[in-house]
Amino acid sequence: MFDLQAAAPTPVPFDPAAIEGMSDAELDALAFGVIGLDKAGTVHRYNLYESRLARLDRSQVVGRDFFAEVARCARGNAFEGHFRRLVRDEDSDPGVVRFDFTFDFAFGSQDVVIEMVRVLPARNVYLFVNRSRVGAPRPEFPVEDLGTLQAALAPNEAALGVRRDSLERRIVEIEWSVLSALRATCDRLAPDSWMLFCSEWGVSWGRRLAVDLETVAIERHARSLRELPMRTVADLLSEQLRARGWGQLELDFSDAPRGLLGLRVARSALAESARTSGRSTMSASFACPLLAGCLGAVLSHVAQRKLTVREVACAAHGSGPCELVAVGPSRREAVDAAVSNGVRGLDNFRTLLFGNVADSEVGHAR
């Protein structure tokens, strides 16, 4: 049995002092905006959260003058002035400034707390953008000073084969047959390791999806995911997956007090792409490690600790929805062992984990 331990999602820590050494993927897992500027004000880092809420594609932002080309609403003493002083007074201590600001875009205004840090030795300046409210446009704000729109940075993209959704994220439309072809290729070339590969891919995807959910949470509720009721978070997650065509996710909370979260995915795109006919050549293993990794990363992000999601029943090899379980570290080995021993189905896992032990006697180890 392959070992999915390496694919277990771990919340990414954040150390501002180490920002220069962080990869783009690590910055993209942060639930606040990060903008890196050189001394001239040219953008050299721009993370996913900032890209999503500013509705600008990182590929079009990096290399541009932040104040002249990207965020005209930040020109002036109230924002740009802090940056210029931080750059000019190179020996000032501690090289950090914090202030409130409001970003104004054509699509809305955003109240933020800016933390601006000068990083040695390159003396680049990083902006950490912590949003507290996303709302309607301020009608009194001068139109000519609004933040730049994606269409202005890269006009006529549609003619160049670039598609974007309503939030200016670049999207690619693929048919289900592409997923089926991918699965078949995995089975042929890496029959023993493709699940680990897909699980890792899912974790990486899930970290980005979690950031996307955070932006929705701040837009709709002015709160982080952790602060919202569990069912609201589950509904947001389900809504996002459904809207993107991955199927219908439902969370079963009934065993949460005993340490297990049940998840069901009806009409899973992954499972159905692996069940194209009654004579599939694909291996009789699970079809959704990609989704399991993704869900594990999202739940770990919300929990701020490592949680594991394992598929325990697959619609590719039967009827009904795919079933998965989410558990903490104390139950992970038991779940993995059960999967290896052929235990299938959410109900069987309940029996395995809880047996006939009375609720009051069940431990709650974390």
Partner 1 sequence: MLADRASGPGASPSARPSLVGLLPRHEATPSGELLDMVARGFEALDPDKTPAGEFLLSL
Of 258 and 344, which CB lies nearer to partner 1 in the complex structure? 258
3-state secondary structure of 112: strand
Q: How far is CA 285 from CA 191, 316, 318, in A?
A: 10, 9, 12
- Closest approach of partner 1 to the CB of residue 11, in Å: 12
140 binds partner 1 (CB under 8 A): no
145 binds partner 1 (CB under 8 A): yes
- Closest approach of partner 1 to the CB of residue 202, in Å: 18
Q: Count Cβ neighbours within 10 Å for each residue of 180-212 and write b for 16 or more, e otherwise.
A: bebbbebbeeeeeebbbbbbbebbbbbbbbbbb
Q: Which of 87, 216, 303, 343 binds partner 1 (CB under 8 A)?
A: 303
359 binds partner 1 (CB under 8 A): yes
Q: Count Cβ neighbours within 10 Å for each residue of 263-292 and write b for 16 or more, e otherwise.
A: bbbeebbbbbbbbbeeebebeebbbbbbbb
Of 154 and 222, which CB lies nearer to partner 1 in the complex structure? 222
> Contact at 8 Å (CB) between 237 and 213?
yes
Structure tokens at 154: 């890269």
Query: x/- string (CB under 8 A) for partner 1, residues 156-175?
Result: --------------------
Interacting residues of 243 by C-beta distance below 8 A, sequence separation 6+: none
Q: How far apart are CA 60 and CA 201, in angstroms?
A: 25
349 binds partner 1 (CB under 8 A): no
List alpha helices for 44-193, DSSP H. 48-54, 58-61, 80-88, 150-153, 176-189
249 binds partner 1 (CB under 8 A): no
Query: x/- string (CB under 8 A) for partner 1, residues 102-131?
Result: x--------xxx-x-x----------x-x-
241 binds partner 1 (CB under 8 A): no
Of 142 and 342, which CB lies nearer to partner 1 in the complex structure? 142
Of 158 and 230, which CB lies nearer to partner 1 in the complex structure? 230
Neighbours of 320 (CB within 10 A): 11
Structure tokens at 127: 């902006």
Of 308, 289, 291, 311, which is closest to residue 299 (Cα–Cα)? 308
- Closest approach of partner 1 to the CB of residue 139, in Å: 15
- Closest approach of partner 1 to the CB of residue 243, in Å: 20
Of 279 and 364, which CB lies nearer to partner 1 in the complex structure? 364
Q: How far apart are CA 77 and CA 71, in angstroms?
A: 14
CA atoms within 13 A on the CB side of 60: 20
Q: Which of 12, 62, 69, 75 binds partner 1 (CB under 8 A)?
A: 75
Binding residues for partner 1, how many (CB under 8 A)?
58
Question: Taking contact as CB under 8 A, which single stretch among the options 43-51, 151-159, 204-212, 249-257 is the one that binds partner 1?
Answer: 249-257
Q: Which of 1, 10, 16, 25 binds partner 1 (CB under 8 A)?
A: 16
Question: Site residues (CB under 8 A) for partner 1?
Answer: 14, 16, 32, 75-79, 81, 96-102, 111-113, 115, 117, 128, 130, 132, 145, 225-234, 251, 253, 256-261, 299, 302-305, 307, 326-328, 331, 359-360, 362, 364, 366
